[in-house]
Structure 1
Amino acid sequence: MNIAVSQSLASDRSGEATARPIADIILRNGPIWCGRNEGVVEAVAIWQDRILASGRDADIASLAGPATRIIDLKGRLATPGLNDSHLHLISLGMMMDWVDAKPTTAPTLESLLSAIKERASKTRPGEWILARGYDQTKLDVERHPHRSELDQAAPDHPMMLVRTCGHISICNSKALELAGIDESSPTPPGGLIEQQNGRLTGLLAENARAPVWAVIPPPTQDELVAAIERGGRHLLSYGITSCMDAAVGQRGGFGEIAAYHRAKREGRLPVRTWLALLGDPDKTIVPQCYEAGLISGTGDDMLMVGAIKFFLDGSAGGRTAWMSKPYLGEDATTGVQMMSDDELNELVMDAHAKGYQLACHAIGDAAIEQLITAYERALAAFPDPNRRHRIEHSGFSTPEQHDRMVKAGIYPCPQQVFVYDFGDAYVSVLGEERGLKSYPFKTWINLGLKPATGSDAPVCEPDPFPNFYAMLTRKTWKGTVMDASECISIEEALQAYTEYGAFSQKMENVKGRLVPGQLADIAVFSRNLLTASPEDILDNTQCDLTIRGGSIVHDRLGVS
């Protein structure tokens, strides 16, 4: 037990050490995993919002006082609070009110259309109906829904159905009409307007969706704050105490910054949030943020400006991730390149020179190549060995690219749950040679690239247990093994979800481990993940208790 560090937490105004504080909360009687290097201890003490001490039960007991709350773990595992290092918090909260089109809810085209039809029956004619979560590779018809089918399900409403990846939308005729899209509309750079036999199918990809979003009523600030609160409470129920919102400004523009600060001010920000500012030229909020002094590191432990986000390509399952070699199929597509080299190089150089960290979306190997090159140019012009520019997703990176990432200090930030949810789709559109080797997590760890993990919610559920399962087994939901050589241990998986998540945000000295002085963010699970089978982790585990900053913020059983 580190008493010296514990004592540093209690000082009078002159800076002199005072008597050791008495713990507010002590957790005991169960394994407490403090970090990959720290291992398991018997008990941990919390004082105010920090870890006071951790160690043997007998030693920690000496820190208890009459008012100390003792939490009996009863053999359950406690870990640092999880850090979902890439999701969309506002979108998650807002889409919890949309039609649920996920395969688990609507596995057939008929059930999907029925859910849309039911929502239409309860919605005033002319109002928008929005749905998200379908995956054509998991639908019984194994294709995208068609515009005409959405017309039949919602004939009196403009309707948009978003694929699970968030990069493809299917719109009905009323939505396309409002957006001004018809058979003569030119395809925008970095986009796709699909036609078959000279007729719109309703499928829009990437930048082609912008006219539709432009005519959907934007959320009010009240709705944005409610979404932050609703989505954040959902995260707490899984033991997630920190996250990155990966594209702030996507729906509400600069108003999303105001909404986050209002949520924090009103006590309605449930999770520690690291903001990635949307920087895409057509809807960037970066100039307003920079003018206001909001650069990387601005804020505090609860709400901080993190990085700038550019989108370089789409999704592999949607065949829009930018690949160096074509997808399978007759169209020989290599996906969608969102920006030219010159445009990206200029944007990255400008953001880097202004002091921003960058966290850019690149899934295909061609997009990753473009991004690494832009990062290398910026780092050569303005050296900063600790900037920690990130490649979000980085699904199909190559060994040569890994070597360059190590040399330049560029870090992958993947979502291993993609292996579980979308692995079979990757194989179907890319073949086994490329598909099975996607998201090479063990390789990244061995190279010292400290990969974090997350869910990309609402692309996937923020539920961490499929993510753990994928890291441990490399199995998809259908049981396909996606290159078993990339499996990792549960300790490595926990480190990715905690310490590496903090590292990706330059906050590894603030959170991510249960050591004296770090934030008292703790998750307690219903079973011991260190000894449980991957199948039990996937199917039979829940988060029983979540502590954020020394306060209990989720108590599933209501007895702690």
Structure 2
Amino acid sequence: MSQTEDVVVVNGVVRTVDERDTVAQAVLLSGGRIAAVGTEEAVRNAASGTSVVVDVGGRTVVPGFIDNHNHLSVAAFDPVGVDCSTPPRSTLGEVLESIESYCKDLPEGQWVMGSGFFHAHVREQRNPTRQELDEVAPMNPFFLRDISCHAGYANSRALDLAGINAHAPQPWGGEFEKDNKGQPTGTLLEAAINLLHEAAWGSYVERDWETAVELLSSKMREYLSLGITGVGDTLVTTKVAELYRRASAGGALPLTVQQYHGGDLFYSPPDLRRSDILDRVLAGGDDRLRGGAVKLFVDRFFPDGPTIDEVHDGCVTHVGTPFHSREEIVELAVGAADLGISTAIHAMGGCAVGACLDAYEEVRRRARSGSVLRMEHAFVAETRHAQRIADLDVDFVGNPGLAWLWGEVFTGVRHDGQDHLKVLPMRSMIDAGARVSLASDSPCGPVSPMVIMSAAVNRLTQHGTPIDPDEAITPAEALLGYTRNAAHAAGRASEEGSLEVGKRANLLVLERDPITCSATDIMDIQVDRTYVDGELVHHRSGR
């Protein structure tokens, strides 16, 4: 959509987030770009006589937020599945009742998916079994995605359709649990969810592509109300890419989507030797749909947690299971760099972080350039890696909202006496000179940038438990992490991320200033206005 009229935003605290951290009074939006920034007098003088003047009454104006690690194509379909969220559900019985109520009037054989469940948040402290899911969804194949996206739970009909039985071999990168008789329990870990997730999610898409596109667009409009003007979908499969292609062709992308491509299934790596995958990775897009990037996984979360090295009496013990060897990650990263393709590498534990950096060191050693090198997560990592991240010019994309939601889980992974490990050591990285940006990993965690910025600054879980408070960052650093740094990590540093002349007119009007308000109030800040390419796309009622 093209900006139809010039807009002058005046009487604001305009935090440009440029290199000098300039604070201005006004900004002019023209032709989808920032045309002037400065004093109110100077900006008014630069505007035409027909410009629309928006007086923001002293409120704060900032660049649009970029959520670089988001699973938009997954989250968009949660509203049409079974809401199994825990909380508010506090028992397994309540979860099963929700599934039964949803399925009772559906046509026989129609796939059903559920979301929002986490076993630690129910009284029974366990997952539903295949038999329990059979009872509440007897006529439909059913798949419940764990909130982490690293596990899932299925009934017998779903398992049968996926060919998962007592005789099935364990898949690459995952496993399905078996009982003492060798029969599948219905619990699937990591890459074992691939076929079930693709079948359940894919059935919702292929049932009606137009409805699927509208669900995608609706979720993006929700994001606009939170101030998100750009998203990185960090796992785009073949079918997801087709969904985005259709959405783009129909003008249904109200914000910028950077695709991070995987293989055909959720946890399958992108084989760039395949011409069809390479073609979709490199496929040209437009201002709203971007390609040229891939997602790689290093470590798993289940069954034994992220890959880390524990130290006991001077001896090192390795914990956790990787998806790939270090040699394989080097090969994948270098292969992508050879083709000018940017990479985002999922690395949760300290060993995975080291493997990611080994791969990127090889990319830099071979003088590969022109692509962005990103590392995601570092949930339980070693601060000694911080300087190396900075020296290799790697963009770190962290998810403090998950620490807010799951902090007790992460600290549980880091056993007593393992003081060399920190949960999301962002302070250490910034102090070492690394570029740090923030992102949600939604639907695994909260999507609101304000909740995530608050978590980065306050370092508290949702229960008020401190989580490595010495790794807290400042509000200004948190804002930088959602704007200019995030634009760099997205490969769009020259286009957006700061309010500077010539950049895209993606900006927000906030009800309060996140830099000067109380740190405890950051979480509750509302977005009054959102502009994308100069067009007003969200306006909070009464503001």
TM-score under structure 1 normalisation?
0.87
Write the letter of the residue equivalent to 1:114. E
Superposed CA offset, 1:78-122 (max 9, x none): 210000011122112122322222223323322222211111123
Paired with 2:227 and 2:128, the residues of 1 have a C-alpha distance of 36
Residue in structure 1 matching 2:191, options 195, 207, 210 = 207
Q: State the shift of 1:194 in Å.
A: 1.8
Q: Which stretch shifts more, 432-441 or 30-39?
A: 432-441
CA separation in 2, counterparts of 1:56 and 1:491?
Answer: 22
1:354 Cα offset (Å): 1.5
Determine if the alignment matches structure 1 residue 416 to structure 2 residue 403. Answer: no
Count of aligned pairs between the two proteins: 526
Q: Residue 47 of structure 1 corresponds to which residue in structure 2? A: 30
* 2:232 alignment partner in structure 1: 244
Larger mean CA deviation between 200-209 and 238-247 belongs to 200-209
- 1:132-281 equivalences in 2 (<5 Å): 132-198=115-181, 199-213=183-197, 215-216=199-200, 217-218=202-203, 219-220=205-206, 221-249=209-237, 253=238, 255-279=239-263
Aligned to 1:14: none
Q: List gaps (5 residues or longer) in structure 1.
A: 1-21, 327-331
Counterpart amino acid of 2:282?
Answer: I
Partner amino acid, structure 2, of 1:237: S
Mapped to 1, the partners of 2:70 and 2:210 lie a distance apart of 21
Matched residue SS, 2:505: coil
- In structure 2, how many angstroms separate the alpha carbons of the residues matched to 1:378 and 1:183? 43
Candidates 3, 10, 31, aligned match of 2:13 = 31
Judged with a 3 Å threshold, the aligned counterparts in structure 2 of structure 1 residues 344 and 404 are, in CA distance, closer, same or farther, namely same
Structure 1 range deviating more: 85-94 or 185-194: 185-194
The 1:126/1:45 distance shift into structure 2, 3 A limit, reads same
Q: Report if the CA contact (8 A) 2:8-2:29 is conserved.
A: yes
Is the contact made by 1:307 and 1:358 (CA closer than 8 Å) also made in structure 2? yes
1:64/1:342 CA distance change after superposition, 3 Å? closer
Q: Which residue of 1 is the match for residue 350 of structure 2?
A: 365
**Which secondary structure state, in structure 1, belongs to the residue aligned with residue 12 of structure 2?**
strand
Q: Find the counterpart in structure 2 of residue 11 from structure 1.
A: none
Cα displacement (A) at 1:321: 2.5
2:306 to 321, 327, 335: 321
Following superposition of structure 1 onto structure 2, how do residues 367-386 of structure 1 map, counting pairs within 5 Å? 367-380=352-365, 382-384=366-368
Distance 1:430 1:517, change over 3 A: same
Residue 518 of structure 1: how far off its partner (Å): 1.0
Q: Say whether residues 1:389 and 2:377 are aligned partners.
A: no
State the alpha-carbon separation in 2 of the partners of residues 265 and 500 from structure 1: 29
Distance 1:186 1:323, change over 3 A: farther
The answer to whether 1:543 aligns with 2:527 is yes
Contact map agreement 2:37 2:499 (CA 8 A) in 1:
yes
Q: Alpha-carbon deviation of 1:333?
A: 9.2
Question: Which secondary structure state, in structure 2, belongs to the residue aligned with residue 324 of structure 1?
Answer: strand
Name which of structure 1's ranges 139-148 and 409-418 shifts more when overlaid on structure 2.
139-148
Letter aligned with residue 520 of structure 1 = A
**Equivalences for residues 424-435 of structure 1 within 5 A:** 424-431=408-415
Query: Partner of 2:46: helix, strand, or coil?
Result: coil
Written as runs of structure 1 = structure 2, the 5 A alignment for 1:324-473 is 324-325=309-310, 334-380=319-365, 382-384=366-368, 387-431=371-415, 437-473=422-458
Q: Aligned partners of 1:446 and 1:289: how far apart in 2?
A: 42
Query: Which residue pairs with 2:499 in the alignment?
Result: 514
Q: Residues 2-41 of structure 1 correspond to what in structure 2 (within 5 A)?
A: 24-35=6-17, 37-41=20-24
Q: Which residue of 2 aligns with 1:308?
A: 294
Q: Please state how far the C-alpha of 1:432 moved relative to its aligned partner.
A: 5.4
Q: Does 1:118 align with 2:101?
A: yes
CA–CA distance in structure 1, aligned partners of residues 492 and 324 of structure 2:
31
The amino acid across from 2:25 in the alignment is E
Check whether the contact 1:179–1:214 (CA below 8 A) recurs between aligned residues.
no
**Alpha-carbon distance, 1:240 to partner:** 0.4
Q: 2:282 aligns with which of 295, 298, 304?
A: 295
2:307 and 2:318 in contact (8 A); partners too? no
Cα shift at 1:50: 0.8
- Conservation of the 8 A alpha-carbon contact between 1:102 and 1:132: yes
Change beyond 3 A, Cα 1:282–1:501: closer
- Partners of 1:396 and 1:52 in 2: how far apart? 43
Percent sequence identity is 28
> What code does the residue aligned with 1:149 have?
E
Counterpart code for 2:57: K
Greater Cα shift, 80-89 or 336-345:
336-345
> Which is worse superposed, 263-272 or 222-231?
222-231
Measured after TM superposition, the shift of residue 215 of structure 1 is: 4.3
| Alignment-mate amino acid for residue 89 of structure 2 | A
For residues 195 and 30 of structure 2, what CA distance do their matches in structure 1 show?
A: 52
Q: Give the Cα separation in 2 of the matches to 1:333 and 1:208.
A: 23
Tell me by how many angstroms 1:289 deviates: 5.7
Distance 2:405 2:126 in 1: 17
Deviation at 1:165, TM superposition (A): 1.0
- CA separation in 1, counterparts of 2:5 and 2:105? 53
CA distance in 1, matches of 2:8, 2:259: 32
- The aligned amino acid for 2:236 is V
Larger CA deviation: 55-64 vs 161-170:
55-64
Question: In angstroms, what is the RMSD of aligned CA positions?
Answer: 2.7
Contact 2:387 2:433 in 1 (8 A): no
Identify the residue that residue 93 of structure 1 maps to in structure 2. Answer: 76
CA apart distance, 1:470: 0.5
* Structure 1 residue 388, shift from structure 2 partner: 3.2
Does residue 1:481 correspond to 2:460, yes or no?
A: no
Tell me which amino acid in the other structure corresponds to 1:27.
Answer: V
Amino acid aligned to 1:45: L
Distance in 1 (alpha carbons) for counterparts of 2:185 and 2:418: 29
- Contact 2:113–2:143 (8 Å) recurs in 1: yes
Q: 1:222 is matched by which residue type in structure 2?
A: E
Q: CA deviation digits over 1:338-372, x for unaligned, max 9?
A: 12334333322221211211112111222222222
Q: Distance in 1 between matches of 2:247 and 2:167?
A: 44
Please give the TM-score of this superposition, normalised by the length of structure 2.
Answer: 0.89
Q: Which amino acid aligns with 1:132?
A: S
CA distance, structure 1, for counterparts of residue 101 and residue 520 of structure 2: 35
Deviations 1:517-560 (A, max 9, x none): 1111011223232232233222x332221100000011121x66
Partner SS for 1:465? helix
Mean Cα displacement is larger for which, 89-98 or 432-441?
432-441
